[in-house]
Structure 1
Amino acid sequence: MSKLYIVPTPIGNLEDMTFRAIRVLQEADLILAEDTRTSGKLLKHFDISTQMHSHHMHNEHKTVEQIVTRLQSGQTIALISDAGTPAISDPGFLLTRACVEQGIAVECLPGATAFVPALVNSALPNDRFVFEGFLPEKKGRQTRYLALAEETRTMIFYVSPHKLIKTLAEVVQYFGPDRLLCVSRELSKLHEENLRGTAQEVLKHFEAKPPKGEIVMCVAGKKS
């Protein structure tokens, strides 16, 4: 029976790969990978020889129809991203939606994703939260900040290292210098860091020590 499997992969530590994820990738007819070079290293480590095709943000609009056709022919296909769970700030939504529209079974395996450990590590309220992913680059960025300035839930952002200082300065500007936040860096890796404090304190830290690696930033909501 054909099925699309959404398969999370480790965000850093290879020990976070699940037994089930390995089995699904071994048994699939095809693996769709965001970057076949990056995923090739992962597959080699776990002795997975399944054929791979490239599926990323620059070609997903063009390849969805072809992939759906293969699924309709009876194939089982697994989708992975470079790290974490596909479709969470990574390609996956378009294909998942197309499969659902065509009545093709979709199953997402539980597994690694960066924002959950970052939220828990932050020590900020996590009974209710909002995941914002990456902020707009230019157009709409200020509008997003202005809307979120009134948000009372903990907010989660993905931030590239070369934009962290700019983003922290914007948090100070729009949310205030005393807004509590936590910057989680290199989660699950050897040099994992979770820096907690006010927006101003964390900004000063990274101005003196430029950040490296993958970053998740959790920001406290406005006090009601």
Structure 2
Amino acid sequence: MDEYRLNILNKSNAEINRLQLLSAFFDDEIIYKIFLRTQVIHQLFSNNEDLEIEKLDLFHLQFTDSVIALLRKIKKSNEKNVALIYDEIDLNEALIDKISASLDDKNKFTQDRQKQTLKVNQSLRRLYNNLSDLSTDFPFSKNINVFSAKYANDYYFDLTAEQLSQLVDYQGKNVYSNAYAVIEKKLMGRLCKFDFRTEFHLGLKSGELIIEV
């Protein structure tokens, strides 16, 4: 077999291999039949040296190359669409993860808020006992400030210094006080009435100072 003929047959094999890959990608019966018929034509020229090998080259030039170009164009378009779908899936997964994390944070906040409420209730009860007994014991629960340190940035509302001043303003005759706390007399009375059961509704912050309502 002369080199010229061999080169055309090798080139034909390369075309068939490309067509086979595209056929596998699309997994379509029509494209697979085109691949099979192209193989048959190739074998016809390969097994019969009397046929003009240029006609095989012309066949690929006029037909196979056009089919491959069209299939590649469709494949590229499909891959772009697939890429967009995967991007959207990744985005949705990221959003789901973010929402899940947010829900986990909120659930944790709710649990910690309940613990904080219990600490505050216990602290208020001890403060009442201290005021009644004139005790100098520290009334507040251990780590009572951990909750605000953890959640103030995300969950507490900002106050101006003026607003804070108005909220904590009081007249001495209306409060009980000791070395650790100042509490309004009417508020202490209501706390006693309801057995020191309170609920955390919201947090406020102004600089380093915090208020829990």
TM-score for the superposition, normalised by structure 2: 0.20
Q: Using CA pairs below 8 Å that are at least 6 residues apart, which structure has the higher relative contact order?
A: 1
Instruction: Give 1 or 2 for the bigger CA radius of gyration.
Output: 2
TM-score for the superposition, normalised by structure 1: 0.19
